[in-house]
Amino acid sequence: MNDFILENEAEMLAFGARLGASLRPGDTVALVGGLGAGKTTLARGLVQAVLPSEIVPSPTYTLVQAYDLEGFTLWHCDLYRLEHPDEAYELGLMDAMGEDVCLIEWPDRLGPLLPQDAMTIEIKFEGEGRVVTLTGWGDRNV
Ligand X SMILES: Nc1ncnc2c1ncn2[C@@H]1O[C@H](COP(=O)(O)OP(=O)(O)O)[C@@H](O)[C@H]1O
Q: Which residues bind Mg ion (CB under 5 A)?
A: 39-40, 58
Give the nearest distance from C-beta 38 to ligand X in angstroms: 3
Are 75 and 65 in contact, with CB atoms under 8 Å apart? yes
Give the nearest distance from C-beta 13 to ligand X in angstroms: 8
The interface with ligand X within residues 110-129 (CB under 6 A) comprises 128-129
Amino acid letter for position 18 = R
Interface pick for ligand X out of 28, 40, 69, 75 (rule CB under 6 A): 40
Interface pick for ligand X out of 20, 23, 30, 39 (rule CB under 6 A): 39
The span from the CA of 98 to the CA of 76, in Å, is 14
Are 65 and 76 in contact, with CB atoms under 8 Å apart? yes
The span from the CA of 12 to the CA of 38, in Å, is 7
The answer to whether 12 contacts ligand X (rule: CB under 6 A) is yes
> What is the total count of residues that contact ligand X (CB under 6 A)?
17
Query: Of how many residues is the chain composed?
Result: 142
Give the nearest distance from C-beta 77 to Mg ion in angstroms: 10
Give me Rg for the CA atoms of the chain.
14
The answer to whether 130 contacts ligand X (rule: CB under 6 A) is yes
